[in-house]
Amino acid sequence: MSAPCGTMVIHPTDGGNIHAFKAITPCAILDILSPPYSSEDGRHCSYFRRCQKADPSGILSNRSKGSEIVWLEEHQPPNKFVIKRDLYTGPPLNL
């Protein structure tokens, strides 16, 4: 997507809620989560990056299309990554 763009809705039941943002210029993302992340309630938020090894498991060594697969590893976001949380108090959302 590129600015200006409309609203996007990502539903976990429609193929997962895995998304990535790569900012070319400084930007802000408004991410409304309902229900919000909560490790205590089983809604953990994880951050991933591309794995340095092309095939850490070794299972794709004989596949000719292995380049279409990206391996991810969980990691902590960098210190400059800032999340500000607040309670949504706007009008009801009908998604």
Helix then strand then coil, % of the chain, to nearest 5: 5, 10, 85
pTM of the model: 0.50
Q: Of 34 and 15, which is predicted with more confidence? A: 34
**What pLDDT score does 11 carry?**
66
- Residue ranges of domains in the chain: 47-83
Write the pLDDT tens digit of every residue in 18-75.
677 777 888 777 777 777 777 788 877 788 888 876 665 655 555 555 456 677 888 8
Direct distance between the N- and C-terminal alpha carbons of the chain, in angstroms, rounded to an integer: 20
d(CA 43, CA 46): 10
For residue 41, CA distances in Å to 35, 36, 44, 85 come to 10, 10, 8, 17
Q: Of 78 and 14, which is predicted with more confidence? A: 78
**What pLDDT score does 48 carry?**
83
Q: Length of the chain in residues, anyone?
A: 95
